[in-house]
Each structure stands twice: as structure tokens, then as C-alpha cells.
A and B are shown apart, each in its own frame.
Chain A
Amino acid sequence: MTEYEVELVWEGAEKADREANIATREDETVLEAAERADLGLPFGCRIGHCGSCTGRLLTGDLEHARRPLALKDRHLDDGYVLLCIAEPRADCRIRVGVDVQRELVSNPWK
């Protein structure tokens, strides 16, 4: 059974940085592996349209198991991933937590 090591990194402006390591099994999403390890990651729809679980891939490789509709091309180009449908294909290092989702859009009037 293929296992990949995934390092999860929380980098928030107002909270201490934190890291955790988990391992994903074959065809397992990062969110499922985190839940198996009892780590709370944000999520919503679990099928890739709401963006609540957005992370940013720092190193490694993963594939979305279905279309990541919550992410536009510019987000995908910048390494944003949806952890509810993202399956690692190599060892990965991923920035996680609610702050990542907030980077997807900005206030157009400010």
C-alpha cells in the first residue's frame, strides 16, 4: 500500500506556527487522512465546490480526484489545492488552516 508523508503547516498572522505530520493511504484525500489522525482541518462541501478546505501546496505533488470547481486557474497556478478532494502522489508539504482560504479573493473596492 502506497503511503505518502504529508507535512501540514499552519501559518497564521495572529497565532503561533504549528506543524503536524500525517500519512495518506492509497486513494485517500489529505482531509480524510487528517481526520483519521484526529486533526481538525476546515471543510464544507467535501466535493470541491465551496473552497472551505483550501490549502497551498508548498512542495510535493497531488491530484484532485474530481474537478476543483472552487478554484480558478489563477489559484491552481499559484499552488492552491482543495484538501477534501486532493490525493497525494508524492510526499507533500502543505500550508493549511482558514487563513489560506481567505487569500483566494480580495476586497475589490479597498
Chain B
Amino acid sequence: MSDTESPSEASAHEHHEHHHDVEGPGYATPQAAVEQSEREKVAYVMSLYVGTDVDAPDFLAVVDVDPESDTYAEVIDRVEMPNVGDELHHFGWNACSSSCHVEGLERRHLIVPGNRSSRLHVVDTKNRENPEMVKTIEPEEVHDHDLSAPHTVHCIPDGEILVSMLGDADGDLPGGFLELNDDFEVVGRWDAPGDIEKNYDFWYQPRQNVMVSSEWAAPKVYQPGFDMADVEAGNYGHQLHFWDWENREVVQTVDLGEEGMIPLEVRFLHTPESTHGFVNAALSSNIFHFWEDRESGEYRAEKVVDFEAREHPDWDMPVPALPTDILLSMDDRYLFGGNWLHGELYMYDVSDPKNPRRADTLSVGGLFGDVQELGGRDIVGGPQMIQLSLDGERLYWTTSLYSTWDNTFFPEEAEKGSVMLKADVNPRKGTMTLDEEFMVDFGEMPNGPARAHEMRWPDGDCTSDVWQ
């Protein structure tokens, strides 16, 4: 039974009941998600107008990803935000597999933050194809806790929600974490102010009593755009913070150094037994593996993938790869990611996490991609946010990073809009194949060309679900 179906609707799906050994949302184990999930039929996609000439609110796009449908690969609904200028970026579910023991809780509401506005929106997806905005938390209520610039949303067990916040009430440092309850009310600040300075993404592994958080920069630094003077001034992050999950305090900070500049997406392996994970250092174009050393009980981090800069005839300096997103397949077998500037998707076998093995790559979009056009339009920008089907067989991606950064590196994206593309993955062979039939053109939206960022599926995805 899917999370948002009422019991009466579920009667039509009773053939699923024998699989359903959890009382709440999600799946009993990561492998159960692989086996029991149905193919994704819609995708929710953050879509935005910030930094373009279009004077319209950002929106949550509902994309039809069901090949049996007449509207396959089209945006079939748009949930507009009540204000302009939010910069929708990352978003998350009210509940995931970490609450699979909580009877009656549903994976149904999306928490959709505005990264510039500090406004939080709650969208009800009971009707999956036509979700509905049900609540807005205004910026002033967020600023009251001396926080701004919401980023990653993870539900935490028992229906509460944690949001990483990149700045204080002025858009300066320190950032922190904001906690919401299961009625989507602000509970308050989750962490002790000043325990960290910079913040970005986080992931928690409750069985190991650990949370890890990464670092971008203060909102006042990254929001106006990427300025090398800020790198030289030390305004960009290069550390990972390991927290005592129960006690909500940082117990260890690991400095990744020069090779670990701007560590972004932190992904623990899905299996709750593991202390291994990965993070992409975007500016240094490296991927780090981190793990708990069993003897000392301390976390360590080591660079395991290094992407070389490439010469481009129109650029004065070698172009860095800029790996801006990574994820782990639900079976923890593969790490996927994208090099946004170069225009490359990669798939690493991480069955030995200390020694990732490059399984396959796709050269598409960006500055060097072999494929620069699809469905009759230019692909502007390389692979950026990625999302994988729960069964690991379909990888989707969008092309916008952040409005001001897009405008510096791929300025045409403001006029042409983003695209959402797809590759078919063979997890047995370790291969990816570009699906040339699939392209969602965000250049063709009613209010004008839009950017597209993070994607999620209604039944959970590889970047949402955590197990206790």
C-alpha cells in the first residue's frame, strides 16, 4: 500500500498487503524498498524563476514519469508559491522509513523551503497529481530563532522534521538547525547556537547515534554569487561535523583541507548497520569517503575520487569539474553523481567503500558533454541534482545549481530554462544509457522559462529514507 492511500483506496491493492510488514510510512529495510516499491509515476521538482526576467513565484512541478501515460515527460501540474523570490532549492518529506513503526503516520506532506526568503511551505500530496499548498511559515518566525536560509529537510523519527539552516537572522554565521513538529509548527532551534559556524547538508544514522553535517558558506557569501575573493578570504567551508545524535552536540569536526573545499551532499550508506558514507567536495572536485575507525571510535575521511580540471579553448583557466551532487543507490552498491561544469554523469561501484571503482560515465550537457541537444533543444548546463528510482534502474537529473551561480557559469539557462533528463541503469552490469526519448523542457512553462532543481518521488527516494 502506498503511503498516501486511505484504507478504502487500499482495498483495490490488497495484493500488496502481504508485503506490508510495517505500520507506518516507508519500508522495513533498504532491500524492501528495492523489492516492494512500484515504479515512480510522478516526480516532484523544485522549479524557480529567481534570477530571470520572469516576475512570477517559484513552483513545485509535478512531472509525469509514467511511460504508459499520455502526458509522459510533461509537467502536469504546478503548485505556485504564495510569494515571488523564494529560490526553492532542496525539500523533503514529513516522514520516511525512519518512522515505519509509527502507526497512522503517512509520507504525504512536503516541506518546501525558500532558501533566499527563509519561508517554509507545506504541500499536501494526498492527491499525487494535484498537490495542494496547506501552510506557510513566514520568515519572521524563522528569524525569531536567529536562523535563516533553510536547506536540507529530513524527517526524524516519530514525525518531527529537522531543517538545516545556513545562516543567522542577518544571513551571516552561525547557521544551525530548525525543528518542526508533526503539525508543521516551529518547535525551535534543535542545536546549541554556535556549535557549528557553517552549515549545508546533513544525514543521520540513528542506530550509530551519529549525524553528519557539511559546509557551504554564510548566505551573504553564496547567495549573491560565487566570488573567488570569498574563497581566498576563507569564507567557504571545508569541514565535516559529526554529532552525537541523541545529545544534539558536535563531538568531532574533520577538516578536509584544500582538497575538500565546499563539501556538499553527505550520504550515509542506507543500511543502518553502517558508519560509512560519502561527500562531494564541489569546489575541489573530489569525493571523500568517511567512516568510523573501530579502534579509536573517531571518524576519518579520505579522498577516494579526484576529478581533473580540463582545458577549454574559450576559458583562460582549466575548468574544474564541479561535482555538485551525489547519491547512493538503495542497495548501497553504487554511488552516482554529476560534474555540472564538465557535463558528465558517473557511476562508481562502492561495494568496497574505501576503493570506489568507476563503473560507467555518460557525457551529456555542460562544457564538454558529447550530447548537447535533445528533443530539439539545447541542454544548458551539466547534470546537477540527481535522483534514482528505488529499484536503481532509472537515474534522472536536472541542470540548475543555484540561480546566481547559474547566471555566472551557464547564463543561457535564465533564457532557455532547465531540462530534466533520464538514463536507464543496469545495476547488474554497472552501465548507464541515455534515454533519448525522455526530456522535460522547463523552457516551456506558462509564465516563461524556469530553472529546475531537486526531485523527489511520492514513495520515497534514495536521498530521503533513513532506517533506525
By a beta-carbon cutoff of 8 Å, the part of chain A in contact with chain B is 12, 14-15, 40, 42-52, 54, 66-67, 69-72, 97-98, 101-102, 104-110
Asked whether B172 lies within 8 Å of A49 as measured between CB atoms, the reply is yes
**Could you say which of A14, A46, A50, A101 contacts B219, with CB atoms under 8 Å apart?**
A50
* Chain A to chain B contacts (Cβ below 8 Å), 25 pairs: A14-B415, A43-B84, A44-B86, A44-B116, A45-B116, A45-B139, A45-B223, A49-B167, A50-B171, A50-B223, A52-B50, A52-B51, A52-B87, A54-B224, A66-B170, A101-B51, A101-B404, A102-B225, A102-B407, A102-B411, A104-B224, A104-B227, A108-B226, A109-B316, A110-B317
Q: Is the interface of B mostly helix, strand, loop or mixed?
A: loop
Residues on B with C-beta less than 8 A from A46 are 117, 139
Number of A-B contacts (CB under 8 A): 114
Does B333 touch A at the CB level, under 8 Å?
Answer: no
**Could you say which of B139, B170, B226 contacts A105, with CB atoms under 8 Å apart?**
B226
Q: How far is the CA of A71 from the CA of B220 in the complex (A)?
A: 8
The 9 closest A-B pairs by CB, nearest first: A49-B171, A44-B116, A51-B224, A40-B55, A105-B225, A69-B220, A50-B223, A108-B228, A109-B317
Question: Given A69-B220, A109-B317, A42 and B85 touching (CB < 8 A)?
Answer: yes
Asked whether B85 lies within 8 Å of A44 as measured between CB atoms, the reply is yes
Residues on A with C-beta less than 8 A from B409 are 107
**Could you say which of A69, A107, A108 contacts B172, with CB atoms under 8 Å apart?**
A69
Q: How far is the CA of A46 from the CA of B219 in the complex (A)?
A: 13
Residues on A with C-beta less than 8 A from B407 are 101-102
The 8 A CB mask of B126-141 against A (1 = contact, 0 = none) is 0000000000000100
Shortest Cβ gap from A16 to chain B (Å): 12
**Could you say which of A12, A49, A54 contacts B148, with CB atoms under 8 Å apart?**
A49
Residues on A with C-beta less than 8 A from B258 are none
Shortest Cβ gap from A89 to chain B (Å): 23
Chain B contact-residue range equals 35 or more
Residues on A with C-beta less than 8 A from B117 are 44-46
**Could you say which of A15, A47, A52, A102 contacts B85, with CB atoms under 8 Å apart?**
A52
Residues on A with C-beta less than 8 A from B84 are 40, 43
**Which chain B residue has the least Cβ–Cβ distance from A43?**
B85
The 8 A CB mask of B60-104 against A (1 = contact, 0 = none) is 000000000000000000000000111100000000000000000
Residues on B with C-beta less than 8 A from A108 are 226, 228, 317
Residues on A with C-beta less than 8 A from B50 are 42, 44, 52
Asked whether B225 lies within 8 Å of A104 as measured between CB atoms, the reply is yes
Shortest Cβ gap from A22 to chain B (Å): 16
Q: How far is the CA of A106 from the CA of B226 in the complex (A)?
A: 8
**Which chain A residue has the least Cβ–Cβ distance from B341?**
A109
Question: Given A52-B51, A98-B51, A110 and B85 touching (CB < 8 A)?
Answer: no
Shortest Cβ gap from A41 to chain B (Å): 8
Residues on A with C-beta less than 8 A from B227 are 72, 104-105
**Which chain A residue has the least Cβ–Cβ distance from B403?**
A52
Residues on A with C-beta less than 8 A from B320 are 109
Does B17 touch A at the CB level, under 8 Å?
Answer: no
Does B408 touch A at the CB level, under 8 Å?
Answer: yes
Does B318 touch A at the CB level, under 8 Å?
Answer: yes
Question: Given A69-B172, A98-B52, A51 and B225 touching (CB < 8 A)?
Answer: yes
Shortest Cβ gap from A12 to chain B (Å): 8
Q: How far is the CA of A29 from the CA of B316 in the complex (A)?
A: 41
